[in-house]
Structure 1
Amino acid sequence: MVNNWKYSTTIKSRPLLYTETKKLADLILQGYNELKLKEQVINNNIFQVKSESRKRELASTILSRLNILDEYLTRCLIESDVETSKILVLYTIVRTDRLFYEFMDEILSEKLAFQDPVITDSDFNSFFESKRQQSNKVAGWKEYTFYKLKQVYIRILFESGLLLNQKGERKVVIPIINPDIIDHIKKHDDPRYINVLAEVEYEDDK
């Protein structure tokens, strides 16, 4: 449940990672287990990064995200068009990061629902201030942490196709997602997680 999730700031250095996620998803479909996957990342450096610690960090992050996808969704991530594939990667972040999920639920989906598809700096400021008031843990974070979180949120949304631009009044794009994927997720997972990405579009299609 969301209420049992712990707030974390690890996302600061772990953005969308779309290309890296697709690489590991492809290996998973080929039958690689977790040990073999980590060997590919660390020994063969499939992510092309220099630091050993960064290799391990990326492997751990991406595997934890991919663990929430079943075989059908993993295959969709690999075989679908780029837009759908990126939304599935975004979905894995929504499912594994509480603060990001709450941002999507309380800010982005609300703006789409009220046809106010622009995210401004004040939206981020209001959101983070609200979380400070709700959580002692979040209240203890430094101002620079919120600055970095804001940066990575914007980058994730832009790279996943949900923002047209990264500065100023950032225009939100409603994602178009294959209804079969939405139906599958709603049948096999708590629908709130896909609703923050697809509820508006899905309802319009009914």
Structure 2
Amino acid sequence: MLQYTSILKSRPYLYLELKKASQLKNQGLDEKTIRSKAIEENIFAVNTEARKREIASTVINRIEGLDNYILDKIVNGSLQTSKQLAIYSILKTDRLFFEFMKEVYKEKLLLKDFIITDKDFNVFFRRKAEQSDQIAEWKDYTFYKLKQVYKRVLSEAGFIKNSKKEVEIIPQIMEEEVVQHLKNIGDMPYLEVMLGEI
């Protein structure tokens, strides 16, 4: 099982970077080559050496768990499908984000309550801190930052509309072929957190 991390706060959605890495993988490049291109050729166009390495390692971690069909859909699918699959790649690699989507986002969808409040975030993080000694040691600032980043990631992906006070869920419609593929490869849990009921 994945460890809990707060890594998402410094390496959020990275949609364009994921798309670029997926394209290179589609062209037959392996992860090692993509990593060296990121560092030597700065394909993700970032300023510092540390950032090049950070982004390369995050994006490569996300594409490692994706099959050719998914990679192709990220690169060549519709914008909505591509962005949904970018969220899927985060769900597969970030345990805390997955649990947030399962315990807060999906629950709201099922209850047809399309507003996520600050209180919902706070209750979720407090519950996780009670369940995990590791999370219990995190500073308040980490939770504050994660809350901002979760909102930003979901907003950039088109999963929510973000206003000052609250967050409004935008229920997702996913291509039937993609839904079928994720079911076939046994990834129902990820589908369910994105779509609610299937």
TM-score, reference length from structure 1: 0.93
Change (3 A) 1:184 1:41: same
AA paired with 1:71?
A: N
Does 1:173 pair with 2:175? no
The 5 A counterparts of 1:7-156 are 7-156=4-153
* Deviation per residue, 1:158-183 (Å, 9 max, x gap): 00001112431211001111111111
Partners of 1:100 and 1:66 in 2: how far apart?
17
C-alpha distance in structure 1 between counterparts of 2:117 and 2:164, whole Å: 8
Q: What is the CA–CA distance in structure 1 between the aligned matches of 2:113 and 2:34, rounded to whole Å?
A: 42
Deviates more, 1:33-42 or 1:82-91: 33-42
Amino acid at match of 1:61: T
Q: Deviations over 1:58-105 (max 9, x none)?
A: 111111111111001110111111111000000010111110000000
Conserved? CA contact 1:29–1:74, under 8 Å: yes
Alpha-carbon distance in 1 for matches of 2:65, 2:100: 20
CA distance in 2, matches of 1:58, 1:32: 17
* Contact persistence 1:158–1:166 (CA under 8 A): no
DSSP-derived class of the 2:178 partner: helix
Q: Which amino acid aligns with 1:190?
A: D
Q: Deviations over 1:110-167 (max 9, x none)?
A: 0010000011101100100111111111111111110111111000000000111243
Q: Which moves more between the two structures, 31-40 or 121-130?
A: 31-40
User: Is the contact between residue 76 and residue 85 of structure 1 (CA under 8 Å) also seen in structure 2?
Assistant: yes
3-state DSSP of counterpart to 2:71: helix
Specify the alignment match of 1:182 in structure 2. 179
Which 10-residue stretch deviates more, 160-169 or 132-141?
Answer: 160-169
Distance 2:13 2:130 in 1: 28
Contact 2:107 2:196 in 1 (8 A): no
Contact 1:118 1:169 (C-alpha < 8 Å) held by counterparts? yes
User: Is the contact between residue 131 and residue 138 of structure 1 (CA under 8 Å) also seen in structure 2?
Assistant: yes
TM-score by length of 2: 0.97
Partner secondary structure for residue 5 of structure 1: coil
Q: State whether residues 11 and 58 of structure 2, in contact with CA within 8 Å, keep that contact through their aligned partners in structure 1.
A: yes
CA RMSD for the aligned pairs? Answer: 1.1
